[in-house]
């Protein structure tokens, strides 16, 4: 597993120089592995580089299926805490709303925020390649789900390119899979230099706004 290679720890008997050499080799293998898995990865990183700005930045990743006032509130709150916020929209088309529709909704919903850039996750954030259990969350909960690959790509490649120091998430009272991922994120990212900030969900009529509830209401034309 590529993510396990990056997390290699040196043996007590090796020298600092030897440790550094092994680490460089393993990180090179990790990068080569990403290129082997998907030839689009270098272009994905190049596109991120084109959006680089000076300052300390944050990131949030959302499916937005559909984009709600709850999502909008989270983005507004997050944007106040960083110089610039990179908002990643899940690209994989396995949702009730098509990717392009979701992306357009997000763009229109945050156009009043001058320090927010909307980007695609591509295949490298919360995708069937990096976190397949996310797309089965409405059918079953897998306590053995593995999102280390997703975290590794974000920490070692995406965050450094955009100088992301904060990852924003919303409280998750409904989805067990997402809540589990968030708890793992709180433990895994801070040691890597990325603060995880959880923002309480916006409520309406004493109930947290939920995209899944919006979908249910749409189905009944309510």
For residue range 36-75, list pLDDT tens digits in order: 556 788 889 999 999 999 998 999 999 999 999 999 999 9
Q: What is the mean pLDDT of residues 22-36?
A: 58
Q: Is 205 a residue whose pLDDT tops 60? A: yes
Spatial contact of 156 and 30, defined as CB atoms under 8 Å apart = yes
Longest dimension (CA), the chain: 67
- pLDDT score at 34: 60
DSSP 88: E
- pLDDT score at 5: 40
Convert 124-163 to b/e letters by CB count within 10 Å (16 or more is b). bbbbebbbbbbbebeeeeeeebebbbbbbbbbbbbbebbe
23 CB-contact burial (10 Å; exposed 0-12 / middle 13-18 / buried 19+): middle
Q: What is the DSSP annotation of 148-180?
A: HHHHHHIIIIIHHHHTEEEEEEE--SS-HHHHH
Q: What is the mean pLDDT of residues 70-87?
A: 97
- pLDDT score at 2: 42
pTM of the full predicted structure?
A: 0.80
Helix %, strand %, coil % of the chain (to 5): 45, 15, 40
Q: Is 78 a residue whose pLDDT tops 70? A: yes
Give pLDDT tens digits for 114-145.
999 999 999 899 888 788 877 776 666 777 77
């Amino acid at each position: 597993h590529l993510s396990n290679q990056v997390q290699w720890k040196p043996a007590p008997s090796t020298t600092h120089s030897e440790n550094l050499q092994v680490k460089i080799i393993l990180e090179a293998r990790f990068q080569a592995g990403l290129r082997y898995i998907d030839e689009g990865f270098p272009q994905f990183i190049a596109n991120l580089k084109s959006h680089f700005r000076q300052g300390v930045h944050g990131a949030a990743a959302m499916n937005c299926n559909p984009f709600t006032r709850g999502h909008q509130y989270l983005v507004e709150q997050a944007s106040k805490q960083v110089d610039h916020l990179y908002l990643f929209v899940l690209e994989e088309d396995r949702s009730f709303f098509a990717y392009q529709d979701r992306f357009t909704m997000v763009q229109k919903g945050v156009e009043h925020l001058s320090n927010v850039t909307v980007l695609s996750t591509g295949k490298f954030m919360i995708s069937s390649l990096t976190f397949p259990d996310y797309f089965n969350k409405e059918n079953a909960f897998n306590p053995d789900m593995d999102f280390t690959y997703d975290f590794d790509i974000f920490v070692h490649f995406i965050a450094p390119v955009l100088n992301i120091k904060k990852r924003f998430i919303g409280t998750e009272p409904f989805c067990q899979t997402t809540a589990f991922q968030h708890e793992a994120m709180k433990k895994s990212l801070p040691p890597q230099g990325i603060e995880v900030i959880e923002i309480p969900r916006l409520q309406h009529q004493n109930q947290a706004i939920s995209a899944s509830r919006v979908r249910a209401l749409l189905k009944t034309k309510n």
